[in-house]
Amino acid sequence: MDLDLRLELLDQLYTIYGDFIRRQPLACTKGCSQCCTCNLTVTTLEGEYLRRKLSPEQHDELVQRLISAADRRRYRPTVTLNRLADMCVRGEDPPEEENDPDWGACPVLKDDICPLYNLRPFGCRCMVSRRDCRQTGYAEIDPLVLTVNDLFLQHIEHIDAKGYSGNFTDVLLFLDQRQALASYQQGQLGTPPQGLLANQPLFSLMIPPEHREAVAPILKAIRAIGPADKRHSKSSSGSKSPERTR
């Protein structure tokens, strides 16, 4: 699938999710950055989306901030979400992973405000809470919202099946390398470098039985995405998703 089309599909997924999450009772407000840690994970598609939307000056500042924080400890996943879904279907035990919010705040933050807020990756968009995290010390996310979050995360990985996933810092610094960026844009990435994971197509959706009816309209909207001139037709290149659920 053409990279420009994949970026358009990602933009449509952001819009669909925005329509959903705005209807949820959330405590999140501007300046609430309790959940904005250095442990954010993204796909290369989201990194490219951000890179293309930023001005050269904004991009250079972002890269410098990430380089400055590159030596800090941060969460690096050992499996992607679609791989994890496959493991669950096969009855395999998921790997143990260490992810500690005390490792520090997101290196992008400025005075508890995200300068990239309107362009933020999906991992930021879906990190929401029904109660003020500054008071509780943790995010309280409705179980249905968690299911919807997984649904979008799986589709984003699926659309970027020829790309990589990893920590925000690692992915953005990877794309800042000229040869790596060119290989990604040409769909010619090989074995991922240390710290990044190869994305996987979507084979099974992580939807528990009690949420199937509630997510059906959202899943229908996701399946309808496509090029602007064919918005109401199903795209055989990635907008379909399997029926199998857990």
Q: Minimal CA–CA distance to 156: which of 89, 85, 239, 226?
A: 239
Residue 227's pLDDT is: 76
Q: What is the 3-state secondary structure (H, E, C) of the chain?
A: CCHHHHHHHHHHHHHHHHHHHCCCCCCCCCCCCCCCECCCEEEHHHHHHHHHHCCHHHHHHHHHHHHHCCCCCCCCCCCCHHHHHHHHHCCCCCCCCCCCHHHCECCCCECCECCCHHHCCHHHHCCCCCCCHHHHCCCCCCHHHHHHHHHHHHHHHHHCCCCEEEEHHHHHHHHCCHHHHHHHHCCCCCCCCCCEEECCCCCCECCCHHHHHHHHHHHHHHHCCCCHHHCCCCCCCCCCCCCCEC
pLDDT digits (tens, 9 = 90+) for 182-210: 999 999 999 999 999 999 999 999 999 99
Residue 230's pLDDT is: 53
Residue 236's pLDDT is: 35
Residue 229's pLDDT is: 53
Confidence band for 81, pLDDT divided at 50, 70 and 90:
very high
Distance between alpha carbon 15 and the CA centroid of its chain, in Å?
14
Whether residue 89 is predicted with pLDDT greater than 50 in this model: the reply is: yes
Those residues with Cβ within 8 angstroms of residue 21's Cβ, 6 or more apart along the chain or in another chain: 125, 126, 128, 145
Q: Minimal CA–CA distance to 233: which of 241, 242, 224?
A: 224
The mean pLDDT of the chain is 90
Whether residue 57 is predicted with pLDDT greater than 70 in this model: the reply is: yes
β-pairing verdict for 164-167 and 196-198? antiparallel
User: For residue 17, what are its two tokens?
Assistant: 């999710």
User: Which amino acid is located at 118 in the chain?
Assistant: N
Confidence band for 128, pLDDT divided at 50, 70 and 90:
confident
Whether residue 18 is predicted with pLDDT greater than 50 in this model: the reply is: yes
User: For residue 223, what are its two tokens?
Assistant: 């399946």
**Percentage of residues in the chain having pLDDT higher than 90:** 79
Average pLDDT, integer, range 115-142:
88
Residue 239's pLDDT is: 38
Whether residue 232 is predicted with pLDDT greater than 60 in this model: the reply is: no
Whether residue 245 is predicted with pLDDT greater than 50 in this model: the reply is: no
Confidence band for 246, pLDDT divided at 50, 70 and 90:
very low
Whether residue 228 is predicted with pLDDT greater than 80 in this model: the reply is: no
Whether residue 32 is predicted with pLDDT greater than 90 in this model: the reply is: no
Angstrom distance (rounded) from CA 97 to CA 41: 13
